[in-house]
Structure 1
């Protein structure tokens, strides 16, 4: 498989599909109607990153493992953002759309900034920004510099 074909589909169980579609739309995802029905919705973040939100019944057709309670944390899904302001805007949109802002302490290291939110089903998302020079390897993060 070439890199051009490498994609990620994050699958998450949701209690209310329509509420979750509205929530993720408010965060900047777009719905792909070709892969959306009354049991699941494809929400697009980029050309290579898709979020599949699945009703509990649909989720249970893929696995017999239990759906974790909304108070647990299995993963934290980090999304690179173009600026610190974009991180803050996503957190604000989450709080205004049924999510919970800043469920963990804000991480501000100067060259990297991140905040965490919960979606309505308790899934943790961590929008973050990193100085492009550090991300590309052109610069060293300050605490790593000798």
Structure 2
């Protein structure tokens, strides 16, 4: 089985300083070693990072068009939390910092989730797993 030691998710953003301020308001920090005026290394946890990249800089990594995430979903970031309370707290912080809350929380018994769309429209999902899913 193939395994990896770190993950870096790259997300283009229209206004890097505003995006940094948004995530700082949620309590996250940035690695200054990998942060400049073109990108910022958002620290989500041990070995979990999101590179927030200006759209112009992000475009240099692909020949494909970068869709506007406010109008198209090509994927989303899902993060585990330690409790339902942490899920709700982070969604509340995101909303206070300017996020859109596209749906109500979902409770599946073994898993509780809620999410937000950041300033650029990227979808972030937060989940708390309290058990194992029922067998199909």
TM-score (normalised: structure 1) = 0.84
- Tell me the residue number matched to 1:107: 106
Instruction: Give the number of aligned pairs.
Output: 134
- Tell me the residue number matched to 2:96: 96
| Greater C-alpha radius of gyration | 1
Structure 1 CA distance, aligned partners of 2:72 and 2:32?
A: 30
- Tell me the residue number matched to 2:135: 144
Cα deviations by residue, 1:50-76 (Å, 9 ceiling, x for unpaired)? 010000111011112112122211112
Shift of 1:144: 3.1
- Tell me the residue number matched to 1:44: 43
Give the SS at the match of 1:117.
strand
Gaps of 5+ in 2: none
TM-score (normalised: structure 2) = 0.90
Flag as ranges the 4+ runs of structure 1 deviating above 3 A: none
Gaps of 5+ in 1: 135-139
Cα deviations by residue, 1:60-116 (Å, 9 ceiling, x for unpaired)? 111121121222111121100011010001111111111112x13421022210012
